[in-house]
Structure 1
Amino acid sequence: MEFHNKISICNECYGKIPFLDDKLYELGPLYSFDNCICLCEYSGIIKDAIKRYKFYNKPAFYRTFGKLLADKIMKVTQIDNIDIIISIPLNKDRQNQRGYNQSYLISNYISKLLKISEKSYVLGKARNTGVQSLMKRSLRVTNVEGAYKVLYPEKVKGKKVFLIDDILTTGSTLSECSRVLKESGAVEVTAVAIASGKKFT
C-alpha cells in the first residue's frame, strides 16, 4: 500500500478527499473573522474520519489533519504575517470524557510545522454551550453568544491570529471567538478548519 506524501493515508483514500479550492474565503460582514481557510467539504471520507477522530478515540489522526491543513495554509497565505495560533476551547467535562481537545491537537501540531507560536491558553469558555452539532442551525448563533472569553488580553493585543476548529458548520463558534479576540485587541483573525458544511463561492 502506497502512502501519499508520507502521511498516514493511502493514495486511494487521498484521491477521495473532497478538497476545496486553494484560496482564502471571505464570508462577509455577518462573521467576525476576516477570512477563512478550509481544507475540504464535510462529506464522504473526511466526514467519517472526523467523526472517528472526535468520538471514537482516534487522537493520532491529528497528524494527518494537521499536515494537510499546514500544506493548505502554506498555499493560500503568508505565514510570516501571522503572530499566534489559537484553538477553539472545549468544555472541560467533554474534554475529560474524550481525553483530548481535537482542535488543540491540530493547532499545536500546525504551530510546530509552521513555527507559529501556539497560544490556545489565552482563550477560554465563560460557560457551557452544550453540543452545537445537536442544535438547530437557528439556535447555534445565540447559543454561543457570550460563551467565550479572552483570559490574557495582553497576549492577543496587536496580533494577527489563526483560529483553529475542526468543522465550520454555521461559523457561529469561530465568529464568536473571533469577536472576543478582536475586542481584546487582535487586529486580524483567520478562521482555519479541516472541513466545512457551508458551500463556499
Structure 2
Amino acid sequence: MTSDFIHFFQLLDTLSELNEAEKKIMKTLFSFRYVPKKTILTQAGETAHELYFINKGLLRLYYRKDGEEITAYIFREHLFASSYDSFLKQEPGIQYLETLEDCQLLVINYRQMQELYQTVPKMHIITRKIAEQRFINAQQILSSFLLDSPEERYAKFEQSNKDLLHRIPHHIIASYLGITPVSMSRIRKRRIEQQRK
C-alpha cells in the first residue's frame, strides 16, 4: 500500500511539506483502484463525486456535440484528474472522463475531501497551487488555439508529449489540438519528411 503513495507524496511535498501524521490521514482517505481501459468515470448529466490521482495510465476529459467527441484535456501520470466543475460544485456536469489505458488510481470522494480540508489544513495550500497550475495550463491551451497554426500546435504537443503520440489514438490527439485526423496526418508526414532532410 505504501508504494501506491510514493509519487503522490513526492508531488505533494513539492507543494507543501507534509509530516507523517498528515500523510497517515491521507492514506486513510484515499483508496487505490485499478480501472480498465475505456472506462467512463464520469459522464455528462451526472455529478462527479470523485477526484483521482493517476499513478499509472491516462485519462481523457471530453465533450460530445452532434455525435462527435471533442477532447478538452489529457491527464497523464502523477496528475490529479476529475470533471472539476462538476466535482467542485457537486452539480451535474457536461463533460465525460474516460480511461485511455488501464489505470492505477488513488481515489477520494467529495465528502472525504472536505474531511481532508478540516484534518490537514495544508490541503488548502496544495489545492490552490494545483489550481494555479491548471489555470496556467488552460491559458496556454487557449493562447495556442488563438495564436498558433495547427502545425505549430502539433509541434508544441510533440515537443512536450512525444510519448503520448504512441499511447493515444491519433484521432483523439487531433481532437485535442482542434484539427481533423486527416490534417494531422498531413502535418505528421510533412514533419517526418523535413526531419529526414
Normalised to the residue count of structure 2, the TM-score between the two structures is 0.24
| The structure with more helix, counted as a fraction of residues | 2
Query: Computing the radius of gyration over CA atoms, which structure comes out larger, 1 or 2?
Result: 2
| TM-score, normalised relative to structure 1 | 0.23
